[in-house]
């Protein structure tokens, strides 16, 4: 399976009063990783939307293991793990770059919908592009 490794440096605005990253920011980082993986495989969000499709999140899970703090360099590892007729699943692992500590792990499930928000089958062309990301990498 193809993975994307997206680096990010935690900014002060990502943290809460306790000096740790606010929990909802991990979901933003999931989105950043997903966006970069789709870009890497040639299925940018803008091209998907131009084709009339959208991928809203329908389920999300995040397990917080260790805190990230201001100025930490993190890496968001994103993998497309499943492709259905009208769904996609991604998994994520967020690690601190300097020591490799796993900070959080999670997944998202997305529906494929049309411009009116109705469930839509993923087009053959898009499915082919996405399937390439599911294939084992050599």
Told to judge if 16 belongs to the known catalytic residues of this protein, a careful annotator would answer yes
Angle between helices 124-134 and 25-41 (to 10 degrees): 100
Q: Where are the domains of the chain?
A: 3-126
What's the mean pLDDT when you consider all of the chain?
95
pLDDT digits (tens, 9 = 90+) for 102-121: 999 999 999 999 999 999 99
pLDDT digits (tens, 9 = 90+) for 33-67: 999 999 999 999 999 999 999 999 999 999 999 99
| Residue 127 pLDDT level (bands cut at 50, 70, 90) | very high
The answer to whether domain 3-126 has CATH 3.10.129.10 is: yes
| Residue 138 pLDDT level (bands cut at 50, 70, 90) | low
Catalytic member of 14, 16, 89, 99: 16
Nearest residue to 40 via CA among 4, 7, 76: 4
* Section 25-33 average pLDDT: 98
């Amino acid at each position: 399976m193809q993975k994307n490794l997206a680096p990010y440096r935690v900014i002060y605005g990502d943290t809460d009063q306790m000096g740790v990253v606010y929990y909802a920011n991990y979901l933003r980082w999931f989105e950043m990783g997903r966006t970069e993986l789709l870009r890497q495989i040639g299925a940018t969000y803008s091209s998907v939307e131009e084709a009339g499709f959208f991928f809203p999140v329908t389920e999300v899970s995040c397990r917080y293991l260790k805190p990230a703090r201001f100025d930490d360099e993190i890496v968001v590892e994103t993998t497309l793990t499943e492709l259905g007729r009208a769904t996609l699943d991604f998994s994520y692992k967020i690690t601190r770059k300097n020591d490799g500590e796993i900070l959080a792990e999670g997944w998202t499930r997305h529906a494929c919908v049309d411009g009116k928000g109705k469930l839509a089958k993923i087009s053959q062309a898009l499915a082919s592009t996405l399937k390439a990301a599911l294939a084992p990498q050599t």
